[in-house]
Structure 1
């Protein structure tokens, strides 16, 4: 005889499989998406700053923001569209990604950002102004202009405490925007645009103070080709964004309602002849009651990815 308990068990198996595959994409597929998105973000953002810079009226912050919008639209449905170790930390804290997967995400993001930096370095090495030894123009001086720093290496001489504060605060706000915009409770197709605009605005705030990080992978990518001081000060542009992301994620988790948990009741639908072996069985209410009459739980893992994977009919 099929009991309500066995029905519930059978219904749980597909959900478990879906969670394990994260919307149908393997870990390798998600890492590839994260790598491509991070590469796009760093190549576009640093490329605009490097090759346009002060000679262009196109703001660097807007360039980073537009690249982030494009990356999330293109790859967000696969990986969640983090492209930033700070965002990945926030997602892990709120339970949207497994911690071991978060570690692989961060490694992929750093490696991809470094590859983007290698491409920019390679282009610089063939520029006539550099190959001809024009004045003091070298690849190191150009990458110094991209590196994040404080004290004498801050664009406006901001001290360590001020640099830490601004990086932590703007990253916290950005991670909060990301978590809120990609929540499964939000049915908003403009989430990539909102996230990108938030990043552009917050980066513009930080640029005159620390050269604008908000992303440890972006900060790390530059130090390989800059002078030694960039490596010495890199720690701050890991610690401050990660602290800000952790604060935002913990706050988000505290003030976001938890997903409703299905109640359980004793299984009363067991034949007398099976009573001895099934005394301890329980049935999930969802298995014996109409689905519409029950609160629908929100998936606990990969919320951002679930947002991007919503069917068209669910977007109104």
Structure 2
């Protein structure tokens, strides 16, 4: 598949991931009496990944995440020259999704753009976790996310089940880490909401690029050592 088509698929996939996942947190998680809570938000992120992986995974590989793209490259399954176009498409998709979500959510008078949408540590963390805690959980969760992605998409793995494994993995990751960082493991997903939340959220954005990329690189190298592709 040509690069423009693949980049377009990454844009749509990252849009849906950001809009569906962050939208569930902003619009539904704390809705009076009927809020979906942490479990609902976690499931929403998993379902967005699962559905779009089935929809466009055959076009682009269903990365929807700069850390995934870099991790897949580190695992020896992606060309270095395609990293930048993928990352640009992913970040653009997340920003557009955050803009649409902002327009929808701002129709409510007491709307606050932070909350579940933008990642943070310290006072911006739901549980007020420290910088070290947030750094560690983002690295560890991204590491295992990539291990699952690279393992389930290996030529030796059962064909056709990768989107299910990926979606369930992202759901589990959110169940673990939502109280700590509001779960990034995805620099694009973090960038879109942070631009609209502004202030300290932008100032903390560096961690949500650094930690997922470190985790993804480690996973790519480990996966390549564990299961060298023939």
TM over 0.5: yes
Query: Which of these residues, 232, 239, 242, is aligned with residue 210 of structure 2?
Result: 239
Partner residue of 2:171? 200
1:263-302 matches, cutoff 5 A: none
Of stretches 61-70 and 218-227 in structure 1, the one that deviates more from structure 2 is: 218-227
C-alpha distance in 1 between matches for 2:228 and 2:115: 45
Tell me how far 1:112 sits from its aligned partner: 0.5
Size of the aligned set, in residue pairs, is 225
Query: Which of these residues, 40, 43, 58, is aligned with residue 77 of structure 1?
Result: 58
Partner residue of 2:225? 254
CA contact (8 A) 1:144 1:227 kept: no
* TM-score, normalised via structure 2 length: 0.94
Residue 118 (1) aligns with residue 99 (2): yes
SS in 2 for 1:51: helix
Tell me how far 1:29 sits from its aligned partner: 0.6
RMSD: 1.3
Tell me how far 1:124 sits from its aligned partner: 2.5
Tell me how far 1:144 sits from its aligned partner: 4.5
Tell me how far 1:103 sits from its aligned partner: 1.4
C-alpha distance in 2 between matches for 1:30 and 1:111: 14
Tell me how far 1:157 sits from its aligned partner: 1.3
C-alpha distance in 1 between matches for 2:169 and 2:116: 24
Tell me how far 1:46 sits from its aligned partner: 1.0
Of the two, which has the highest radius of gyration? 1
Cα displacement string for residues 220-272 of structure 1 (whole angstroms, at most 9, x for unaligned residues): 0011111300000000000000000011110011121352xxxxxxxxxxxxx
C-alpha distance in 2 between matches for 1:145 and 1:169: 21
Partner residue of 1:90? 71
1:125-164 matches, cutoff 5 A: 125=106, 127=107, 129-130=108-109, 137-138=110-111, 141-164=112-135
Tell me how far 1:119 sits from its aligned partner: 0.5
CA contact (8 A) 1:91 1:97 kept: yes
Cα displacement string for residues 79-113 of structure 1 (whole angstroms, at most 9, x for unaligned residues): 00100111100111122111120111011100110
C-alpha distance in 2 between matches for 1:81 and 1:27: 13
C-alpha distance in 2 between matches for 1:33 and 1:258: 25
Residue 185 (1) aligns with residue 161 (2): no
Question: Larger RCO: Structure 1 or Structure 2 (Cα < 8 Å, ≥ 6 residues apart)?
Answer: 2
* TM-score, normalised via structure 1 length: 0.69
Cα displacement string for residues 1-45 of structure 1 (whole angstroms, at most 9, x for unaligned residues): xxxxxxxxxxxxxxxxxxxxxxxx100010011111111111111
Query: Which of these residues, 9, 15, 24, is aligned with residue 48 of structure 1?
Result: 24
CA contact (8 A) 2:76 2:224 kept: no
Cα displacement string for residues 31-81 of structure 1 (whole angstroms, at most 9, x for unaligned residues): 011111111111111111111012323610100101100000000000001
Residue 36 (1) aligns with residue 17 (2): no
Residue 62 (1) aligns with residue 43 (2): yes
Q: Which runs of 5+ in 1 are unaligned?
A: 1-24, 131-136, 260-316
C-alpha distance in 2 between matches for 1:228 and 1:185: 46
Q: Which runs of 5+ in 2 are unaligned?
A: none
Where is the helix percentage greater, Structure 1 or Structure 2? 2
